[in-house]
């Protein structure tokens, strides 16, 4: 599996439930107006949501570790 296929798979796997419905609804119009495929747009939306989730999860943890000193 090449790197771009792995990134696409991770991004699309983040789109489950209502996030998948919203990602699918948004991906089609974006793909029609850009040079990217619908699959690529869905992957980027999924990766953005995954990055936001990690930010929201790790930010309080890092803050707690810094203030514990």
pLDDT value of residue 8: 79
Residues 6+ apart with CB under 8 A from 31: 37, 38, 40, 41
Counting the structural domains of the chain, the total is: 1
The parent domain of residue 60 ranges over: 3-67
- Contact status, residue 49 vs residue 15, Cβ threshold 8 Å: yes
Read off the pLDDT of residues 46-69 as tens digits, 9 standing for 90 and up: 899 889 999 999 999 999 999 986
pTM of the model: 0.76
- Contact status, residue 10 vs residue 41, Cβ threshold 8 Å: no
């Amino acid at each position: 599996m090449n790197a771009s296929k792995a990134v696409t798979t991770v991004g699309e796997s983040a789109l489950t439930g209502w996030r998948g419905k919203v990602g699918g609804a948004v991906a089609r119009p974006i793909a029609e107006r850009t040079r990217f495929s619908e699959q690529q747009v869905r992957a980027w939306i999924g990766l953005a949501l995954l990055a936001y989730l990690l930010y929201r999860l790790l930010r309080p943890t890092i803050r707690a570790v810094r203030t514990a000193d």
